[in-house]
Amino acid sequence: MKKPFVSLERLQAITQQYPTPFHLYDEKGIRENARRLKAAFAWNPGFKEYFAVKATPTPAILKLLHEEGCGVDCSSLTELMLSDRCGFSGSEIMFSSNETPAEEFELAARLGATINLDDFTHIDFLRETLGYIPETISCRFNPGGVFQLGESKEGFQVMDTPGDSKYGFTRPQLFEGFKKLKELGAKRFGIHAFLASNTISNDYYPALAGILFQLAADLQKETGCKVAFINLSGGVGIPYRPDQPENDIAVIGEGVRRQFEEILVPAGMGDVSIFTELGRFMLGPYGCLVTKAVHFKHTYKEYVGVDACAANLMRPAMYGAYHHITVMGKEDRPLDHVYDVVGSLCENNDKFAVDRPLPEIELGDLLVIHDAGAHGFSMGYNYNGKLRSAEVLLEEDGSTRLIRRAETPEDYFSTMVFD
């Protein structure tokens, strides 16, 4: 059973100050999770987590993670600007972009970010843009084909198709690219890859590490390039459903360490730093969307209308993704009603839940939609003229702080030209 990180009484008090809907984040949970990750990879002296800014581009959250020793992974001009304004600099910033405009490479270079190239043709583009190749450079690897991880002890099977992905170098391109980059002045090299998304398996990261560690050993041996770091990227998931097991980051870290000892150490590469680039794992469970039941509809189905909509949390509408819902104050009541929980967009996919067993919902009940801390607010939009909601931080001492105000109609109209 998923439990909210906030009580009904505390939430009722919060809603007196901040009208629903809003996104609420748990500072205590975020900090504790960041420390668990750091401890799991403490065996690697150069380890660093580069939080994926796209998951939760909120200054207060980024600054909190900075305090916990995290860097940031950026993929756009404004994400670079945001990270700079939040105090990240130099090697604390990883820039992983694709189809990249010249101005974005220029800003990344000015900030001293580590540039992670997505394509072989970008080598010449980067050199033409900057007039040089940075001494530290990274390249993204795509092995092609299908990545499959057999059923693990958690009972979860991982399958994804890198061959259908638009990202990364092929293996031959990577070897040729490293040689070319070295000739152009690069001295320290990194490898990055992302093969599967939201895996509920302690085996994924070690399996990926084995692939990348062997690749790094082969690259260094054949090209003479010094591989300084290997970025395992993201893909470590969270259990959106209450019956799914949680990943154990300590077990995952130990699995990566074993691959490191078996592959890199014998190759004389025991000084390679391990980087991660987690978004969902870092923030997902520690944020929720708080909304209120405002309407009921009794037609061919039973509908509960809430004051949030897909513009506040797109994943269910876009992917059919499951997000658990708690009716606050009714956690222990029987799930003896079946509802579609819907928003007010003029789109039939604006549904947070379909045929969901829940306790009886009454007008004014507060609903917590779980696991919205990553790829929640950040994917919001203004369709139907909907306004983005506020973001609120539940601080470690139990107090709350507004970390993003709700949009107003004035914000919505501010970019429009009526003349």
Per-residue pLDDT at 197: 81
Among candidate residues 68, 98, 25, the one with its CA nearest the CA of residue 390: 25
Q: pLDDT higher for 296 or 165?
A: 296
**pLDDT higher than 80, residue 144:** no
Q: Answer whether residue 83 is part of any domain.
A: yes
Question: E strand or H helix at 273, and its extent?
Answer: strand 273-276
Given pLDDT bands bounded at 50, 70 and 90, which one contains residue 159?
very low
Q: Answer whether residue 21 is part of any domain.
A: no
Measured CA to CA, the distance from residue 60 to residue 8 in angstroms comes to 24
Given pLDDT bands bounded at 50, 70 and 90, which one contains residue 148?
low
Given pLDDT bands bounded at 50, 70 and 90, which one contains residue 166?
confident
Same domain, 65 and 137: yes
Please identify, among 264, 283, 302, the residue that sits at the C-terminal boundary of a domain: 283
Range of the structural domain that residue 186 is part of: 27-283
Same domain, 237 and 335: no
Mean pLDDT to the nearest integer, 17-31: 98
Per-residue pLDDT at 150: 52
Measured CA to CA, the distance from residue 302 to residue 181 in angstroms comes to 61
Per-residue pLDDT at 162: 62
Mean pLDDT to the nearest integer, 151-167: 54
Mean pLDDT to the nearest integer, 223-233: 97
Mean pLDDT to the nearest integer, 46-71: 98
Structure tokens at 205: 């990261």
Mean pLDDT to the nearest integer, 177-189: 98
Per-residue pLDDT at 161: 62
Residues 6+ apart with CB under 8 A from 337: 302, 357, 358, 359, 360, 361
Structure tokens at 182: 């070295």
H runs (alpha helix) in 307-413: 315-319, 409-413
Measured CA to CA, the distance from residue 207 to residue 394 in angstroms comes to 36
Given pLDDT bands bounded at 50, 70 and 90, which one contains residue 158?
very low
Measured CA to CA, the distance from residue 208 to residue 234 in angstroms comes to 11
Same domain, 342 and 203: no
pLDDT tens figures, 273-323: 999 999 999 999 999 999 999 999 999 999 999 999 999 999 999 999 999
Q: Are 194 and 233 in contact (CB under 8 A)?
A: yes
Residue 21's identity, in one-letter code, is P
Same domain, 294 and 276: no
Neighbours of 175 (CB within 10 A): 17
* ω into 4 cis (within 30 of 0): no
Same domain, 177 and 306: no
Q: Answer whether residue 99 is part of any domain.
A: yes
Same domain, 227 and 303: no
Counting Cα atoms < 13 Å in the Cβ hemisphere of 279 gives 21
Instruction: Work out the angle between the directed axes of helices 59-67 and 77-85 (0-180°, nearest 10).
Output: 60
Residue 294's identity, in one-letter code, is V
Mean pLDDT to the nearest integer, 366-392: 96
Measured CA to CA, the distance from residue 113 to residue 4 in angstroms comes to 37
Radius of gyration from C-alpha coordinates of the chain: 23
Question: Buried (b) or exposed (e) across 373-391, using 16+ Cβ within 10 A?
Answer: bbbbbbbbeeeeebebbbb
Strands 48-52, 71-74: parallel, antiparallel or unpaired by DSSP? parallel
DSSP strands (E only) in 53-193: 71-74, 93-96, 114-117, 136-140, 147-149, 158-160, 188-192
Mean pLDDT to the nearest integer, 58-87: 98
Same domain, 232 and 242: yes
Q: Answer whether residue 4 is part of any domain.
A: no
Per-residue pLDDT at 146: 58
Mean pLDDT rounded to a whole number for the chain? 94
Measured CA to CA, the distance from residue 294 to residue 316 in angstroms comes to 20
Q: Are 93 and 138 in contact (CB under 8 A)?
A: no
Per-residue pLDDT at 152: 41
Counted residue by residue, the chain has a size of 419
Per-residue pLDDT at 155: 41
Same domain, 112 and 132: yes
Please identify, among 268, 283, 298, the residue that sits at the C-terminal boundary of a domain: 283
CA angle 270, 276, 282 (to 5 degrees): 145
| CATH, residue 302 | 2.40.37.10
Q: Answer whether residue 69 is part of any domain.
A: yes
Among candidate residues 380, 382, 379, 378, the one with its CA nearest the CA of residue 415: 382
pLDDT tens figures, 84-116: 999 999 999 999 999 999 999 999 999 999 999
Same domain, 63 and 188: yes
Residue 349's identity, in one-letter code, is N
Mean pLDDT to the nearest integer, 1-6: 93
| Count of structural domains, the chain | 2
Same domain, 346 and 307: yes
Among candidate residues 332, 323, 328, 314, the one with its CA nearest the CA of residue 383: 314
Given pLDDT bands bounded at 50, 70 and 90, which one contains residue 263?
very high
Same domain, 177 and 64: yes
Residue 173's identity, in one-letter code, is Q
Please identify, among 283, 308, 335, the residue that sits at the C-terminal boundary of a domain: 283
Q: Answer whether residue 9 is part of any domain.
A: no
pTM of the predicted model as reported, rounded to 2 decimal places: 0.94
Same domain, 366 and 290: yes
Strands 287-298, 302-306: parallel, antiparallel or unpaired by DSSP? antiparallel
Structure tokens at 382: 């203004």
Per-residue pLDDT at 151: 45
| CATH, residue 136 | 3.20.20.10
Structure tokens at 150: 């057999």
State the residue for tokens 């901040």: 18
Q: Answer whether residue 89 is part of any domain.
A: yes
Per-residue pLDDT at 145: 57
Q: Answer whether residue 15 is part of any domain.
A: no
Of all residues in the chain, the percent with pLDDT exceeding 70 is: 95
CA distances from 301 to 269, 296, 346 (A): 61, 11, 18
Structure tokens at 345: 């967009």
